[in-house]
């Protein structure tokens, strides 16, 4: 039971920090679940994030993966509820009032300030994932090739991720 409570608290406060989406909170999430609590290894975290990217829905579904690793199905349910319920309630409360408040100068300033903050947090998330996933010349080459393909073509990212995974698997990475 203490693991479930710790799991719920950890993902609840992390979700409340997820400005710009799940990627924005990824560095702190990785620190919490790998370094602080030891619930998963750094490699499992990257693999779990990759799996969460393949599922429909938000990429923060990695919390469900971590919860499952901690306590099976109950852990997955607790992690998912702790991640999505508080922020959903907060969104519902704020959204109902935001249309009235958004034209006020302080609200416009807050929206403008959140854009670079979200971008910076997302960049930190990409860095965290890259640091855990790119560990030799072959994985670096796959990452560079994937980035180049995504930048140069209109291919859906899921196809590029699957192709990169296949190449990595074929190379035994």
Query: Are 11 and 74 in a shared domain?
Result: yes
Residues 79 and 153 in one domain: no
Quick check: is 142 in a domain? yes
- Using CA atoms, how far residue 43 sits from 76, 98, 101, 129, in Å, is 19, 40, 44, 10
Task: Say yes or no to pLDDT of 19 above 80.
Answer: no
Q: What local confidence, expressed as pLDDT, does residue 55 receive?
A: 75
Q: Give the mean model confidence (pLDDT) for residues 76-100.
A: 88
How many domains in the chain?
2
Residue 110 and residue 153 in one domain: no
Across the range 55-68, mean pLDDT stands at 85
Is the model's pLDDT at 58 over the cut of 70?
Answer: yes
> Does 72 lie in the same domain as 34?
yes
- Domain match, 112 and 150 both: no
CB 28 within 8 A of CB 14: yes
Q: What mean pLDDT is predicted for residues 25-36? A: 91
In a domain, 27, yes or no: yes
Q: Residue 2 above 70 pLDDT?
A: no
pTM of the model as a whole: 0.69
**pLDDT of the residue at 100:** 82
Which structural domain range is residue 23 located in? 2-117
């Amino acid at each position: 039971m203490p693991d479930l409570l710790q799991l719920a608290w950890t993902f609840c406060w992390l979700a409340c920090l997820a400005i710009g989406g799940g990627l924005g909170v990824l560095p702190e999430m990785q620190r919490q679940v790998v370094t602080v609590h030891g619930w998963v290894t750094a490699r499992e975290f990257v693999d779990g994030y990759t799996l969460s990217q393949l599922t429909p829905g938000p990429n923060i579904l990695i919390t469900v993966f971590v919860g499952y690793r901690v306590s099976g199905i109950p852990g997955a349910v607790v992690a998912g509820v702790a991640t999505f319920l508080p922020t959903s309630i907060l969104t519902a409360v704020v959204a109902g009032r935001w249309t009235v408040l958004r034209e006020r100068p302080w609200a416009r300033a807050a929206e403008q300030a959140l854009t670079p903050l979200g971008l910076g947090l997302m960049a930190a998330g990409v860095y965290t994932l890259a640091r855990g996933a790119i560990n030799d010349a072959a994985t670096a080459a796959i990452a560079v090739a994937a980035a180049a393909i995504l930048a140069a073509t209109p291919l859906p990212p899921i196809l590029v991720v699957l192709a990169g995974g296949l190449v990595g698997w074929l190379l035994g990475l």
